Amino acid sequence: MPEQRQTIAALSRLLGAGKASSRELVQASLDRIEEQDKELNSFVTVTPEQALAAADAADAARTQGTAGPLTGVPMAHKDIFCTAGITTTCASHMLENFVSPYDATVVERLADAGMVSVGKTNMDEFAMGSSSETSYFGAVKNPWDTARSPGGSSGGSAAAVAAGLVPMATGTDTGGSVRQPAALSGVTGFKPTYGRVSRYGIVAFASSLDQAGVLALSAEDTALVMQVIAGFDARDSTCSPAEVPDYAAELDAPLKGKTIGIPKEYFDAGLDSACGDAVHAALEVFKQQGAKLRDVSLPNLSLAVPTYYVVCPAEASSNLSRYDGVRFGHRSEDADDIESLFRNSRTEGFGDEVKRRIMTGTYVLSAGYYDAYYLQAQKVRQLISDDMQRCFDEVDIIAGPTTPTPAFRLGEKIDDPVQMYLNDIYTVSVNLAGLPGISIPCGSVDGLPVGLQLVGPHFSEARVLNFAHRYQQETDWHEQAPGEGQG
Amino acid sequence: MEWETVIGLEIHCQLATNSKIFGSASTAYGAEPNTQACLVTLGYPGVLPVLNGEVVVMAARFGIAIDATIAPRSVFARKNYFYPDLPKGYQISQFELPIVHDGHITLTLDDGSEKRVGITRAHLEEDAGKSLHENMDGKTGIDLNRAGTPLLEIVSEPELSSAREAVNYMRRIHQLVRYLGISDGNMQEGSFRCDANISVRPKGQQELGTRTELKNLNSFRFVEKAIDFEIERQVEVLEDGGEVVQETRLYDADRDETRAMRGKEEANDYRYFPDPDLLPVELDEAFIVGVREAMPELPRAKAARFAADYGLKQADIDLLTASRDTADYFEAVAASIEDKRLAANWVAGELSAALNRAGLDIAASKIGASSLAGLLQRIEDNTISGKIAKEVFAAMWDEGAEANAIIESRGLEQITDSGELETMVDQVIADNPEQVEQFRGGKEKVLGFLVGQVMKATQGKANPAKVNEILRAKLGS
């Protein structure tokens, strides 16, 4: 039986060498979920039957010689990815019993590559939140300290990977929902360029910002997964036709002579000083590899959160209009006409944070406010994007902290939305600009992981993964698992 | 006081694509409810709209036909409102940046004068589904077959000044979209319908009066009646010292009146914003040139050509150019015979009447263009008279046979043999001494009667010109 927390690359080697079967790996994953997830609550749905059947198919493929590097490796999907025949709840009462008739593109591609999904991970309801506390199915706990949040919205995926329940889980990142939980849970979390991975089959939150992402144990593993999920999909008009490079091939490229931009605004008063120290230490590692550091400026960074909290609720308010109790999802029993059917189904089906965003979004799009909010936000969004583009004229990549603090306590921010939103300050601008970004573990503060964020220009996935991989070659923060040394 | 009416029309024209504007389901009319509702139609979680490129070409064709600007960049927006037959809770439509804008069309008015009517814009959007109330046991059923069907919404300037003019305009647009092959224009099936914005003002006043909007008018007759009713109603309100309330009204055809919709249904703030799921539609000059090159001849150009090339009467031209199918049919017939007016008379006369009686479209005519040409050729070569030709036509229609076969089997060939005709003429002269006398006394008209008698005796098969000639000779005039 393999020890806990092994990378995809390691498991793939075991499978390839015949030292383990997919059935064993998948069973081990299911066992760990059984043992640990009552406490963590990182899964909404576990599907042992389908998983074991898929594992057997993977083992058969390996016997027949048709296995690829991912074949037979267990994983999990954030419960926002539509999966045929298995509920896709978005951690909402609204979709508690919703079974999609089709697979999301990401689900389909990973299944085609032979990966075995063991279930669907918990998250903030409709991906709205930064703590995975807004889930209808209860908060996810951080495996490093179960009194703390693993971050969100892909908190279930982050916690499951951190705890070694699965070596990889998918996530979605609209304002930091992959990178922030990766930072708070001590795993590698990657958000590709907007348009690099198809959004088809991802329950829409904010369409111009949503992007599928990967939570894994290393940049190397991330590259393996990206190789499969990236690329054109005719079912998503915003999906790029640009060719997908060989991500693994560039992982080891030397960093000598490369330039890293350090935005001074990332290191302002809002940043926890110990986190700042960890990030600075990480930058030294790059320097030792021959990379140059250069100060850059993102003058409009302070506008990123307010801009995001106009654009994102606006789109969400419209995207979530389809949940009206007519065709799918929760339908109120307490309705005697169409008006009350709409009202009561939505009142009962959505949680507070979702309602807050729908109301905010409806407000900013309303006649008389549209220009002042939505239109203005779009203009600022352009400025923020221009700021980042300008940096890339001078530097190859931007580096900084992923979050201002390590994992916060459950309940600490849930009643203070503005405090919660400010946790996204370093991540949202990357979504507003549509850039690829990664968070990798780079230190520890009071036994809690700290995340380093690397952001590259559009479609520079290979470069971002290269920087992250080179860092992980020199350090072992990404190998540190929760609970180690604590018995 | 004298009043002046100002009308603008918004025409919703269903585009003739096979599949929906953003999804794969069929757009065919009349299927069982909800059998043409793909996941995109249903607005399922996670699915995304993908634009059907055909609609862009169709909109561009229309834009070129009305001499409009084809926008190099147009944007789909979301129009947000809750309605049970609107699956996503928003309709995808073009708002600020429509694909076609600033065009016009020329109408020929009743007095023969021409009037140019501006077309503000034409934009692409998706249709909603239908709510069904009949036979639903007091509940409301939803049929989403129509949801996601592509529409071109054509918005005129407020430049129409009577119900009659409005119908004239609507007919011209209807004719145009069918010429362009972008819509079947079927009004019964809802493929072509309009909303009318109507206001009245004292004659000579610059400022527009308060307008009302009449929704969902789906026949030319209703458009005329509804607008006439509404004009009268508004004038009455104003003459009684009241004020017209800006509101949306529905036309009730059974009662021939318009009624205000409940205020709630129109108090919508649609919260338009660009749809982030769709890229802007960007069209370059090469695309527009390509569409322009593939344009069919348009009604006015065709009418002008028919007048110049065939020397037809205006009434015949109007009828023959009413639809592309009719014009094509006529031209196919005309190409096979010498006398183009003969072709026009038959297509506009006998054939149209038969089609009307049978309720058939010309494309479904029981007599094809080449068959009709075959018949007319027999008139031209004097095999049969025009009168016999009508009999042959009727037989062709009923039996589906060709003209020659019918003429032969029924022995309808015209008698042109002089000897045979002379004998008959002699007989008629002998039988009608009174009329012969009258003719000789100078009553020219009587000749017609005598010719008729010969025709009667030959069951119409005599060549009338020849009979005429022989009669005159024998009567010594």
Task: Spell out the residues 6+ positions from residue A412 whose beta carbon is closer than 8 angstroms to its own.
Answer: A149
Question: Is B39 close to A204, i.e. CB distance below 8 A?
Answer: no
Which chain B residues in 47-76 lie under 8 Å from chain A, judged by CB atoms?
Answer: 47-51
Whether the bond into B477 is cis, omega within 30 of 0: no
Percentage of residues of chain B with pLDDT beyond 90: 76
pLDDT value of position A485: 43
Alpha carbon distance B164, B198 (integer Å): 13
Q: Tokens 């989403």 belong to which residue?
A: B144
User: Domain ranges in chain B?
Assistant: 3-288, 299-410, 418-474
pLDDT value of position A487: 34
Torsion from C-alpha of A374, A375, A379, A384, nearest 10 degrees: 10
Classify residue B77 as exposed, middle or buried by CB count within 10 Å of its CB (0-12, 13-18, 19+). buried
Q: Which of A203, A237, A321 sits opposite B277 (nearest CB)?
A: A237
pLDDT value of position B139: 84
pLDDT value of position B346: 96
3-state secondary structure of A226: helix
Encode A105-136: b = buried (16+ Cβ within 10 Å), e = exposed.
bbbbbbbebbbbbbbbbbbbbbbbbbbbbbbb
A150 in a structural domain: yes
Per-residue pLDDT tens digits of chain A, which is 487 residues long: 346 799 999 999 999 999 999 999 999 999 999 999 999 999 999 999 999 999 999 999 999 999 999 999 999 999 999 999 999 999 999 999 999 999 999 999 999 999 999 999 999 999 999 999 999 999 999 999 999 999 999 999 999 999 999 999 999 999 999 999 999 999 999 999 999 999 999 999 999 999 999 999 999 999 999 999 999 999 999 999 999 999 999 999 999 999 999 999 999 878 999 999 999 999 999 999 999 999 999 999 999 999 999 999 999 999 999 999 999 999 999 999 999 999 999 999 999 999 999 999 999 999 999 999 999 999 999 999 999 999 999 999 999 999 999 999 999 998 888 888 888 999 999 999 999 999 999 999 999 999 999 999 999 999 999 999 999 999 999 999 998 644 3
Q: Which of B49, B90, B273 sits opposite A321 (nearest CB)?
A: B90
Name the residue of chain B whose CA is nearest to A106's CA.
B46
Classify residue A255 as exposed, middle or buried by CB count within 10 Å of its CB (0-12, 13-18, 19+). buried
Query: Of A92, A131, A177, A317, which one is the catalytic site residue?
Result: A177
Q: What is the CATH number of the domain that holds A116?
A: 3.90.1300.10
Contact list in A for residue B39 (CB cut-off 8 A) is 101-102
Q: Which ipTM score applies to this complex?
A: 0.96
Q: Tokens 């801009």 belong to which residue?
A: A307
Q: pLDDT tens digits, residue range B31-49? A: 999 999 999 999 999 999 9
Contact list in B for residue A342 (CB cut-off 8 A) is 82
Q: pLDDT tens digits, residue range A64-100? A: 999 999 999 999 999 999 999 999 999 999 999 999 9
A337 in a structural domain: no
For domain B418-474, the CATH architecture is Orthogonal Bundle (1.10)
Alpha carbon distance A397, A456 (integer Å): 5
Query: Of B214, B201, B165, B167, which is closest to residue B187 (Cα–Cα)?
Result: B167
Question: Is B273 close to A370, i.e. CB distance below 8 A?
Answer: yes
Domain count, chain A: 1
pLDDT value of position B412: 84
pLDDT value of position B261: 81
pLDDT value of position A486: 43
Query: Of A92, A117, A132, A153, which one is the catalytic site residue?
Result: A153
Q: pLDDT tens digits, residue range B253-301? A: 888 888 888 655 556 799 999 999 999 999 999 999 999 999 999 999 9
Domain ranges, residue A122: 8-253+461-479
pLDDT value of position A441: 98
Which stretches in chain B have pLDDT values below 70? 262-267, 477
A246 in a structural domain: yes
